[in-house]
Amino acid sequence: MKPILVSFLLVAFVWSFTSAKPFHDHHEDSTDGPTNDFQKRPHRHGVPTGSVKIRSVQSGKYLAGSSPYDRERRTITLESSPEEWSLVQDGPHYRITLKNGNEDLYAFDKAGYNPDSGQREVFTWIPGFGESQGRWEVKEAPGYSGIYNVRNLHFDEYLYTSCCENKALTRKGFGEPDGNSMYLWQITKF
């Protein structure tokens, strides 16, 4: 055999064993329903910005604004239908804003914190930007493509899905959440 043909066959043989099978692009939802197709995959996406929808990996439901808590705050729930959010990079952090009403997502301070459970309430701030409590780090979860951990920078707490209630809260992590589905969020273009 000619050396070029042998080289080509060797490359083709090695490639057939080392090339990854195509995997589902989590930035293109094929359905609006919950899916359990969140498996560890190589990193390949940047954080989507602009108009987005934010879905809990654990519940398959979407982050949504709900009824007013008081005249300055709106409660956050998880709903079956997606709600439009705006994700904007602001320096090293992000602002997450409910498009309907231009209300920033933020972690509530004193009254919203339960020291026994370590849980903190999350609201939208109706008057606008929630100052430092409305600054978030959005990072692709280690080993997951298109799936993110969302951390409140002011309190150093991760956004997560409550297992007993239909809402999102924040809680201190013990290091990075490392694949625990309650801390994983799928963020895709709206």
Q: List the Cα angle 36/41/47 in 5-degree steps.
A: 90
Q: What is the pLDDT of residue 147?
A: 96
Instruction: Say yes or no: domain 50-189 is CATH 3.30.70.1230.
Output: no
Quick: pLDDT tens for 28-78. 333 344 444 555 555 556 899 999 999 999 999 999 999 898 998 999 999
- pLDDT tens, 122-146? 999 887 765 788 999 999 998 899 9
Q: Copy the structure tokens of residue 46.
A: 């940047």
pTM strictly above 0.85? no
pLDDT tens-place string over residues 2-21: 554 444 444 343 333 333 33
State the pLDDT at residue 113.
87
Give the burial class of 77: count Cβ atoms within 10 A of its Cβ; 0-12 exposed, 13-18 middle, 19 or more buried: middle
**Residue 88: predicted pLDDT:** 95
Q: Of the candidates 148, 115, 154, 113, which has an alpha carbon nearest to the alpha carbon of residue 131? A: 154
CB neighbours of residue 173 within 10 Å: 16
Instruction: Write down the pLDDT at residue 101.
Output: 86
State the pLDDT at residue 99.
Answer: 92
Choice between 23 and 93, residue whose per-residue pLDDT is larger? 93
Mean pLDDT of the chain: 79
How much is the pLDDT for 44?
55
Domain ranges of the chain: 50-189
Alpha carbon distance 183, 105 (integer Å): 16
* pLDDT band (50, 70, 90) for residue 188: very high
By mean pLDDT, which of 13-27, 72-86, 120-134, 165-179 is the weakest? 13-27
